[in-house]
Amino acid sequence: MSTLTGKVAVVTGASKGIGAAIAKSLGAAGASVVVNYASSKAGADTVVDAITKAGGKAVAVKGDVSKAADAQAIIDAAIKAYGKLDILVNNSGVYEFGPLEAVTPEHFHKQFDVNVLGLLLVTQAAVKHLPKGGSIINIGSLVSRITPPGSSVYSATKGAVDVITGVLSLELGSKGIRVNALNPGLTVTEGTATAGFVGPEADFEKDVVSKTPLGRIGQAHDIATAAVFLASDDAGWINGQLINAAGGAR
């Protein structure tokens, strides 16, 4: 029997990259999946198609997590489609890098509204339905530990995710709901490729590899398999943890 058979999961920001990989892996493990997207319906539909062709169940749901009504609607769609909710993966995130002099209110709010407020709004809507044994997985980032130059706002959002994970693990633990953060290191995705962080000529990737004991950067499936574990009952005694998925990079 698959480890997540009978479970229902919502994955925000799941039309590409790490979110898409997590959604597919949850589906392969037996969960029925709500694939949330903000703008790329085509990407979300591709993820849904991959899950269903593999014998799983999935639906695509549009919604901007930084808007309260949309956050509620994403969770409502899960309940309407599958009647319950067991797993929430808060993956939606945006990033913009720049030095201190480039920080503007717009730069700040764009990232904090999605990465922090969005996480809180979706979680707020979800906890009304999550049962004892439910799992919330917040996708943070290794940047909260390594604080690279030019990432003051983005790293701050991921530091906030770390702190919120700890707080909510205490608030929701009495209800039997586990809250953990999964913090990837540099990972190959459409976004990191477009930004020039990864690729054959990317100095950033070469630098990260040189500092990673396992000698490579991450693939989306590396993060997805860890998320499946945290979502499962096998991780039933794991709560309030910040788990680096970065090949030993620190």
The C-alpha atoms of residue 96 and residue 174 are separated, in whole angstroms, by: 37
The C-alpha atoms of residue 165 and residue 40 are separated, in whole angstroms, by: 28
The C-alpha atoms of residue 91 and residue 11 are separated, in whole angstroms, by: 7
Q: Residue 120 carries which side chain, given as an amino acid letter?
A: L
Going by C-alpha positions, the residue among 27, 30, 18, 31 that lies closest to residue 48 is 27
Cα-based torsion angle of the residue sequence 43, 246, 97, 72 in order, rounded to the nearest 10 degrees: 50
Cα-based torsion angle of the residue sequence 154, 160, 163, 165 in order, rounded to the nearest 10 degrees: -90
- DSSP run (H or E) holding 32: strand 32-37
Whether 154 is a known active-site residue: answer yes
Kindly name the residue from 37, 82, 95, 154 that is annotated as catalytic: 154
Active-site residue set: 154
